[in-house]
Chain A
Amino acid sequence: MACRNHAHGGTGNDGIATLFSAMVPAACVMRQVAPMRQGGRCLSQMKELCPQPPILRRRNNHIPYDIALNILAKLPVKSVIRFRCVCKSWDSSITTPYFISTHLNHNNNKDRDNGYVIHKPSSPPTPFDSPVCTVAFDHTFDRIYEVRIPFDFSSNCAQIVGSCNGLLCLADFRSLSTGDNDIYLWNPSIRKFKKLPDTCLGKVRFVTLGFAYHSENNDYKVVRISCRSLSTPKIEVYTLSSDSWRRVEISLTANLMFRKNFYSPVPLISGSLYWFAYTKEENCRRVIIMAFDVNSEKFKKLALPDDCFHGRSLHRCLALFKGKLAFLKCGRNEQRDFQFSIWVMREYGVVESWDKLFVVPFQRVAYCIAFTEYGSLLARCVTRVKNQGSKFVLIDTETLHEKDPGIQCTSFVANFIESLVLIDGANVEAY
């Protein structure tokens, strides 16, 4: 079989520092036409690092290897996968962490006007449906395509824990209370998935999960927190590069109760995951934000905006909004009307920089299902009309323009991008 550089079999820790020059053949068959622009490594080093260059057919008009890879990095995922078959050196190059990152960055920058979301209903499908996720445009929620989930959960209802760089983390929605700990990483664009190994904590209850990209190491982590009422939470972290779980101690106040973000994923902003937590001080229960730094694996407390405590809060959630932490609250204003208020933390980690950006009025109580990076609020509005249940609406927070998102029930929603992440690795399955 072709020789492959395992992207996640433990070599991922070199970070994105590897240069493209590592993949450029030191000796090309054709005459040198390009000045070598990837400086820093001498010829003998490059010969050691790079895989065997492609065997070329004719002697003229060949595109240099580094440019060929530049072209490959601009192809859709399906094409890249197919072109693994072109030759062994292409296959080797495609599966390096550097190529995967370059390809991802191109996808990220390509068309900032057209981001994607992926969503999945929270109710289990009927016996005749298989669980399916829908990929849609994040501005309009217009459907693009569906993907079928290639693995099963005992409750038949999967939750989208998070989404990073095109890699999704799914867990069993119902069993999070009972303690079953099946967790999967899945890249639907390349049809690969991986079941996580057994956790350290095993079957515990009152679990909340977070999924993060660890940029310093070009790695992925799953954080699992179990905490029952106000006590010391039990925390463990899974790291993809080591394919293992590890307990993490929390050094802050022990009397904490982490709260799920409900349907939307625990947001990842600037390398930290953000949860709500209840804490008890002077016999008073307070809501605070707990930030988990993915790199240092330490928690930090953050206060909510000062002016968010007026009036009763019917629903709260945290989200990512244009690269910053957003806090959303649905409650009544002074006139007893319902509204969603949205604060954004302008400066990372600085509590004084909470800024109330938007207020979205509602007829009745509304629950935030998701708040997209683009700034659309997907809400479930409770109606009093008989037999009508809930109505779902997608609101652009800047224009207050409303749209029917075409969703029938409360869903898990996460941002989405096509990528090559998890193309190879330990225990990665293809389907």
Chain B
Amino acid sequence: MANGENQNPNPNPIEATPGAAARTITLKTADGEIFEVEEAVAMEFGTVKSFFEDDAVSATKPMPLPNVSGSALSRVITYCRRSLEIRSMIPPATSEDATAAEAVQGEGDLEAEKAAKQERKEFEAEFLKDESNEDVKELILAANYLNIKELLDFLCRSVALRIQNKSVEYARKFFGIEGDYTPEEEAQIRQEYAWAFEGVDED
């Protein structure tokens, strides 16, 4: 039985709101690992949020996540924690709506937003650096199952960067797809769009 806090390389968990007890939510992965996660982080998971929105459900029993492995969940928790931290760098008055933000934002807010953007960029560049394609795929499936839009979007952008210069066969392998063009059909596409096949990485 492993505690998520110990596995997490991030030494700075989210501060609990003063006066309230730090609520944690217990999650149980497919391979039997138990994770205790701060409520704020766990609520980033759409699936978990819906599960607990039903008041009748008690927070004492661990929520089962049959489609997520321990290693994937650990990475997901790391991402969401860091993402929450970065978001908290921007003062709450800033709204998502662009025109309102222009009217209300002071210089300090703009600076904070810029700093947050830079932090996020650096964090995201590091996060998947050493992950193999298989690991990234596993993370995508986990983020999809847990319904974490921001993480899923980031993972998709990262995969796009990884495969953008790759060959057709590489893409087929990555997505596990069987090519269904006849050799003649494929040759015709390659000829018609010859320019798109130039400068592609060797497999």
CB distance from B188 to the nearest CB of A (A): 7
Verify B185–A54 contact, CB threshold 8 A. no
Distance between Cα atoms of A79 and B165 in the complex (Å): 7
CB distance from A112 to the nearest CB of B (A): 10
Q: At the interface, yes or no: A74 with Cβ under 8 Å from chain B?
A: yes
Asked if B101 is at the interface (CB within 8 A of a chain A CB), the reply is: no
Q: A33-B144, A67-B140 are in contact. Are A55 and B159 (CB under 8 A)?
A: no
Bits for A65-104, please: 1 = Cβ < 8 Å to B, else 0: 0011011101110110111111110100000000000000
Which of B67, B153, B157, B196 is A81 in contact with, Cβ under 8 Å?
B196
B180 within 8 A of A: yes
Which of the residues B134, B164, B176 comes within 8 Å of A79, measured between beta carbons? B164
Check: B200 CB closer than 8 A to any chain A CB. yes
A75 in contact with B140 given A56-B178, A81-B193, A86-B171 (CB within 8 Å): no
Cβ of B177: which chain A residues have Cβ within 8 Å of it? 54-57, 86-87, 90
Interface residues of B in 163-195 (CB under 8 A from A): 163-165, 168, 171-172, 175-181, 185-186, 188-190, 192-193, 195
Could you tell me if B175 and A54 are in contact, using CB atoms closer than 8 angstroms?
yes
CB pair A430 B168 closer than 8 Å: no
Q: Which of B119-170 contact A (CB under 8 A)?
A: 134, 137-138, 140-141, 144-145, 147, 152-153, 156-157, 159-160, 163-165, 168
Interface residues of A, count at CB 8 A: 36
Query: Which residues of B sit under 8 angstroms from A34, Cβ to Cβ?
Result: 141, 144-145
Q: Is the CB of B176 within 8 A of A67?
A: no
Which partner residue on chain A sits nearest B167 by CB separation?
A82
Q: Are A88 and B145 in contact (CB under 8 A)?
A: no
Question: For the complex, is B52 an interface residue (Cβ under 8 Å from A)?
Answer: no
Instruction: State the CA gap A34–B171 with chains docked (Å).
Output: 22
Alpha-carbon separation in the docked complex, A58 to B190 (Å): 26
Q: Smallest Cβ distance from A358 to chain B, in angstroms?
A: 17
Interface size class of B (residues with CB under 8 A): 35 or more
Tell me the chain A residues, 31-66 only, with Cβ under 8 Å from chain B.
33-35, 37, 54-58, 61-64
Q: B176 to A62, Cβ gap below 8 A? A: yes
Q: Which residues of A contact B134 (CB under 8 A)?
A: 61
Bound-complex Cα distance A63 to B173 (A): 12
Rounded to whole angstroms, the CA-CA distance of A331 and B116 in the bound complex is: 44
> Given A33-B67, A33-B144, A79-B165, are A85 and B178 neighbors across the interface (CB < 8 Å)?
no
| A1 at interface, CB cutoff 8 A | yes
User: Is A301 located at the chain interface by the 8 A CB criterion?
Assistant: no
Pick the contact of A55: B171, B180, B195 (CB < 8 A): B180
* A2 and B193 form a contact (CB under 8 A): no
Is A191 part of the contact surface with B, judged by Cβ < 8 Å? yes
| Shortest CB distance A415–B (Å) | 19
* Whole-angstrom CA separation of A242 from B188 in the bound complex: 29
Q: Which of A62, A74, A75, A82 contacts B200 (CB 8 A)?
A: A82
User: Contact: B190 with A85, CB < 8 Å?
Assistant: yes
> What residue of chain B has the Cβ atom nearest to residue A60's Cβ?
B176
- CA separation between A82 and B171, bound complex, in Å? 10
B47 in the interface, Cβ–Cβ < 8 Å?
Answer: yes
Beyond A61-B137, A87-B177, whether A78 also contacts B171 by CB under 8 A is: no
Q: Which residue on B lies nearest to A59, using beta carbons? A: B176
Cα A360 to Cα B144 with chains together (Å): 52
Contacts of B157 in A (CB 8 A): 74
Query: Which residue of chain A lies nearest to B197 when distances are taken between CB atoms in the complex?
Result: A82
Q: A37-B147, A85-B168 are in contact. Are A61 and B163 (CB under 8 A)?
A: no
- Bound-state CA distance A24–B163 (Å) is 22
Say how far B128's CB is from chain A's closest CB, in angstroms. 14
Question: Is there an interface contact between B189 and A57, defined as CB atoms closer than 8 Å?
Answer: no
Contact of B176 among A57, A70, A85 (CB under 8 A): A57
With a cutoff of 8 Å between Cβ atoms, the chain A residues found around residue B196 in the complex are 78-79, 81-82
B176 x A82 contact (CB < 8 A) = no
The answer on a CB contact under 8 Å between B145 and A74 is: no
- CB-CB < 8 A to A57: which residues of B? 172, 176-178
CB-nearest residue of chain B relative to A37?
B147
Quick check: A76 and B147 within 8 Å, CB to CB? Answer: no
Check A56 against B176 for contact (C-beta < 8 Å).
yes
Chain A 257-296, CB within 8 Å of chain B: the 1/0 string?
0000000000000000000000000000000000000000
Are A63 and B178 closer than 8 Å at their CB atoms? no
- How far apart sit A87 and B177, CA to CA, in the bound complex (Å)? 8
Q: How far is the CA of A335 from the CA of B145 in the complex (A)?
A: 69
Shortest distance between the CB of A70 and any CB in chain B (Å) = 5
B 97-115 to A, binary, CB cutoff 8 A, 1 in contact else 0: 0000000000000000000
| Beta-carbon contact of A71 and B137 below 8 Å | no
Contact of B189 among A55, A79, A84 (CB under 8 A): A84
Extra 5 A-B pairs, beta carbons < 8 Å, given A67-B140, A78-B196: A2-B185, A54-B177, A55-B180, A56-B178, A83-B171
Binding site for B on A (CB under 8 A): 1-2, 33-35, 37, 54-58, 61-64, 67-68, 70-72, 74-76, 78-79, 81-88, 90, 191, 430
- Which positions in B face A, CB cutoff 8 Å? 47, 67, 134, 137-138, 140-141, 144-145, 147, 152-153, 156-157, 159-160, 163-165, 168, 171-172, 175-181, 185-186, 188-190, 192-193, 195-197, 200
Pairs across A and B, CB under 8 Å, 21 listed: A54-B178, A56-B177, A61-B137, A61-B141, A63-B140, A63-B175, A67-B140, A72-B160, A74-B156, A76-B164, A78-B196, A79-B163, A79-B164, A83-B168, A83-B171, A85-B186, A86-B179, A87-B178, A87-B181, A88-B180, A88-B181
